[in-house]
Amino acid sequence: MALNPTRRRSAAAVLTAALLVPLAACGNDGSDQGGEARKRKGAAAGAPPADLTVLAAASLTDVFKAAGAAYEKENPGTRITFSFAGSQELIAQVRQGAPADALVTADTRSMDSVRAETGTPAVIARNRLVIATTEGNPRAVDELKDLGDPKLKVVLAAPEVPAGKYSRKILDAQKIAVKPVSQEPNVRAVLSKVELGEADAGLVYKTDAAGAPDKVDAVDIPDAQNAVAQYPAATLKQSRNTEAAAAFVAWLSSPKAQKILQDAGFQKP
C-alpha cells in the first residue's frame, strides 16, 4: 500500500535518525581512539601538551633534569622548565605570584606554609644527611661529633633552609656545638664550598654527595642520629596548565619516575 506524503516524510526522518546514531558513535570512537593514540605515544592520562614551569628544591637539580627529559620523551609536545632554589626561596616566589605550574620542596613545613596556593601535596621521595668532606677526607672526619672541632672549617645551610633545619636538628640532638664559617642559601651551595676547598666539611643530602664522587667524600651518619627529609610535590592553583601540571605531579609517583629518583639515591616516599 502506498504511503501518503506525510507518512513518507516521517519514515524518512526515522531512517535518517537511525543512520545518524552509528555515525555519532563512530565520531566518539574516533575521539577515543585519538586519546588512546596519545596514550600510546606517551601522553600522561591524555594530558594536553604544555610548557610547564616547575619550582623545585635545589637538591633535586640533577635528578629532575633526568626526570624531566624522560617525561618529555614520553609526552611529545610537553616541555618542562625547572627553577631550582632553596625551598624558602621557592615559597617566596609562590607568594609573589611567580608564573609556575607545580612546586616541589625539600620539607613538608615549607609546602604547608602555602597550602592555600597549592593542590593536595604528595610526598614523592625521602633523603638523609651525610657529612661531605674535601676529597680524600684529609681532616679525618669520621662522625658527627667531629664537626664540633673548632679547628675544622664547617659550612651549613642557613637556618631557614630545609637542609639547615635538618642539620641544626641533628646537631642539637647530639649536643654538638658548631660555628659554621658560612651559612648558605641552599644545600648545593654547601656542597660547592666543600668541593672548592673553602670548607673542610659540610652537611648535605646523601644524593648531593653521591652526585660529586670525584670531588667530595661522604661520611654516613647513623639513622639514630640522622633526620629524614621529605619531598612533597603539588600543583599550583595559579597555573594556567592545571591538567598538564596535575599529570606531571602524578607521574612523579609512577614506577618509572620512582626508579629515576631511587637510582639517584633518593629513598621511597
pLDDT digits (tens, 9 = 90+) for 32-69: 333 333 333 434 555 789 999 999 999 999 999 999 99
Residue located via cell numbers 637539580: 61
How many C-beta atoms surround the C-beta of residue 195 within 10 A? 17
Fold: same for 46-126+230-263 and 127-228: yes
DSSP state, residue 120? -
Model pLDDT, residue 46:
59
**Domain range 127-228, CATH class:** alpha beta
What integer pLDDT is reported at residue 10 of this predicted model? 42
The answer to whether 194 touches 180, Cβ cutoff 8 Å, is no
Alpha-carbon torsion, ordered 19, 25, 29, 35, to 10 deg? 140
CA distances from 211 to 12, 155, 220, 265 (A): 74, 18, 15, 9
Q: Grid coordinates standing for 121?
A: 601535596
Q: For the chain, give me the number of helices (H) and strands (E)?
A: 9, 9
pLDDT on residue 174 = 97
User: End-to-end CA distance of the chain, in Å?
Assistant: 77
* 3-class secondary structure, 234: strand
Q: At what angle do helices 255-263 and 61-74 cross, to 10 degrees?
A: 150
Give 46-126+230-263's CATH code, choosing from 3.40.30.10, 3.30.2090.10, 3.40.190.10, 3.30.565.10.
3.40.190.10
pTM of the model: 0.81
Average pLDDT for consecutive 10-residue bins of the chain (269 residues)? 44 39 35 38 63 97 97 95 97 96 97 98 98 97 97 97 97 97 97 97 97 95 97 97 97 98 96
So what's the pLDDT on residue 3? 44
- Domain range annotation of the chain: 46-126+230-263, 127-228
Q: pLDDT for 20-39, tens place per residue?
A: 333 333 333 333 333 333 33
